[in-house]
């Protein structure tokens, strides 16, 4: 596995970029293409990127595509309910089998995130072009590898504030402070089955967040962190009783 490039699929509902001129000006080819190109350039031969969008058959995520995805990146906002339950179920099973999943920004409300975490995943928010400072609270974590300083700062963001209705994260990597006074757990990891999840808060579509070099560094690190490790997945669980050998001559 180590010698093969990681297979990364960037999924985007791809609606705001086609319906709002302000968003199209920032992401003319869509958030998914910006991420695929930006992270692809950072990771070089370590990873190959593909993209998938809501309007494609099976949202671009048929079984064979998911089977060939090591890490899935998810951006959704206005069309969470349009994602089919069948595809959500398929993604969940792949995560439990070891596929990594990065859920970005408004993806906190997606079906797949809420299903995997089992809570409402809601929060408070305000769109007021505020400064956000993301404090690194786990400086030894691989997801912050290569960042300079104790925090990263985004001059204009949408605010997300606590309470964020998620289970207690396995690891907390970033805590955000906003100029308006709120705080937020903006970089959280979780494990579900064999799969690793990373939730990363920044990414509102009307600000150029995914062009930010430090944001790209975090997400490239997260791809490497979330990659499957260990013995390759062997498919469905086997019946342990049937596979037992007799203990002795009796």
DSSP for 179-204? TTS-EEEEEEEEEETTEEEEEE----
Among 9, 106, 176, 186, binds Zn ion (CB under 5 A): 106
Minimum CB distance to Zn ion, residue 18 (Å): 17
Residue with nearest beta carbon to Zn ion:
204
User: Contact between 158 and Zn ion (CB under 5 A)?
Assistant: yes
Spatial separation of the C-alpha atoms in residues 198 and 143, rounded to whole Å: 9
Assess contact for 30 and 77: CB atoms under 8 A.
no
Longest dimension (CA), the chain: 78
User: Contact between 65 and Zn ion (CB under 5 A)?
Assistant: no
Minimum CB distance to Zn ion, residue 198 (Å): 18
Which of 56, 66, 122 shows the shortest CA–CA distance to 90? 66
Minimum CB distance to Zn ion, residue 77 (Å): 6
User: Contact between 204 and Zn ion (CB under 5 A)?
Assistant: yes
The stretch near Zn ion (CB under 5 A) out of 6-14, 65-73, 107-115, 202-210 is 202-210
Minimum CB distance to Zn ion, residue 226 (Å): 22
Helices (H) and strands (E) in the chain, counts: 8, 9
Spatial separation of the C-alpha atoms in residues 207 and 222, rounded to whole Å: 21
Is the Cβ of residue 75 or residue 198 nearer to Zn ion in the bound state?
75
User: Contact between 32 and Zn ion (CB under 5 A)?
Assistant: no
Residue numbers at the binding site for Zn ion (CB under 5 A): 106, 158, 204
């Amino acid at each position: 596995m180590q010698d093969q490039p990681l297979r990364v699929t960037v999924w985007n509902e791809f609606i705001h970029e086609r319906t709002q001129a302000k968003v199209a000006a920032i992401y003319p080819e869509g958030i998914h293409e910006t991420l695929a190109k930006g992270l692809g350039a950072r990771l070089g031969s370590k990873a190959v990127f593909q993209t998938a969008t809501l309007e494609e058959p099976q949202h671009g995520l048929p079984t064979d595509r998911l089977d060939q995805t090591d890490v899935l990146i998810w951006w959704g906002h206005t069309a969470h309910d349009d994602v089919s339950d069948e595809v959500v179920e398929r993604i969940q099973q792949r995560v439990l089998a070891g596929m990594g999943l990065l859920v970005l920004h408004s993806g906190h409300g997606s079906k797949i995130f809420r299903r995997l975490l089992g809570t409402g995943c809601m929060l408070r928010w305000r769109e007021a072009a505020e400064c956000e400072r993301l404090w690194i609270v786990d400086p030894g974590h691989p997801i912050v590898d290569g960042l300079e300083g104790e925090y990263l700062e985004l001059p204009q963001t949408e605010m997300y504030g606590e309470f964020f209705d998620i289970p207690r994260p396995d690891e907390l990597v970033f805590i955000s402070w906003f100029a308006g006074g709120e705080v937020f757990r903006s970089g959280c990891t979780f494990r579900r089955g064999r799969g690793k999840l990373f939730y990363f808060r920044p990414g509102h579509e009307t600000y150029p967040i995914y062009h930010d070099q430090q944001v790209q560094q975090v997400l490239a690190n997260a791809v490497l962190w979330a990659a499957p490790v260990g013995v390759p997945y062997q498919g469905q669980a086997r019946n342990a009783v049937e596979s037992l050998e007799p203990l002795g001559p009796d």
